[in-house]
Amino acid sequence: MFIQILDFIGTFAFAISGIRLASAKHFDLLGAYCVGLTTAIGGGTMRDLLLSQPPFWMTNSFYLICTGFALIWVIIFRKFLIKQENTWFLFDTIGLALFAVVGIEKTLAAGFPFWTAIIMGTMTGAGGGVFRDVFINEVPLIFRKEIYAMACIIGGIAYFICYKIGMGNIASGLICGLFVIISRILAVHYKIHLPTLKGDNE
């Protein structure tokens, strides 16, 4: 139940972040819905396929319905969301944190080691954003200097430490999500970036 709650909240948050960016690009309603849905289910779909499980959204229509509610939410509050540029960052960060936890939990439940769980958590959190950015013709955020996928890795390490010292899954998951959110906020606020590779002529 804990994982389902996180999954549903993360789906709504990520769908809003995708639809919000699609609206800024003047996509039509169907296009915006597709961007929001892909943002919400993209990372989890890759995770489930790699774990040899049926993609989660194919056995539960909630994710399609939830994305529809996210579209309605953006339509109703469109002017507010457009004026408040930080709303995209807020929903994207929440979705990133929650999906990272869900990815870790599902991978551990499938019997894989922790290092695999951290990778899958990162993929679940950041994967949908890659599809979103490709759909709206932007360079994916994980390929830029921002702390994005790295925030999921930091959260995954925090989960591992908490789990090893005897904390339960719920407490470990909450701390993991908190570390992801704090990492993103601090990185953006203090302009902390990963070093970039330079070409031979630079």
In a domain, 200, yes or no: no
Please give the structure tokens belonging to residue 146: 């921002």
Q: Which residue shows structure tokens 């989660």?
A: 56
Q: Which residue range(s) make up the domain with 31?
A: 2-189
* Torsions phi, psi for 12 (to 5 deg): -65, -45
pLDDT of residue 195: 83
In total, how many domains does the chain have?
1
pLDDT for res 186: 94
| pLDDT tens, residue by residue, 1-57 | 677 788 888 899 899 989 988 988 999 999 999 999 999 999 999 999 999 999 999
Supply the pLDDT for residue 69. 95
Confidence at residue 85, expressed as pLDDT on a 0 to 100 scale: 63
Give the pLDDT of residue 101. Answer: 94
pLDDT in tens, the chain (202 residues): 677 788 888 899 899 989 988 988 999 999 999 999 999 999 999 999 999 999 999 999 999 999 999 999 999 988 777 666 677 788 889 999 999 999 999 999 999 999 999 999 999 999 999 999 999 999 888 887 778 999 999 999 999 999 999 998 899 999 999 999 999 999 988 988 888 777 666 5
> CB-side exposure of 187: number of CA atoms within 13 Å?
20
Contacts of 7 (CB under 8 A, 6+ apart): 56, 98, 99, 102
Evaluate whether residue 49 is within a structural domain.
yes
- Residue count of the chain: 202
pLDDT of residue 84: 65
* Residue 52 lies inside a defined structural domain of this protein: yes
pLDDT of residue 193: 84
What is the rounded end-to-end Cα distance, in angstroms, of the chain?
52
The CB density around residue 85, as the number of other CB atoms within 10 Å, is 10
Q: Is residue 196 part of a domain?
A: no
The total of other beta-carbon atoms located within 10 Å of residue 72's CB is 11
Residue 194 domain-assigned?
no
Residue 120 is assigned to a structural domain of this protein: yes
Could you say which DSSP state residue 60 is in? -
- Do the Cβ atoms of 101 and 176 come closer than 8 Å? yes
Whether 39 is covered by a domain: the verdict is: yes
Neighbours of 191 (CB within 10 A): 8
In a domain, 33, yes or no: yes
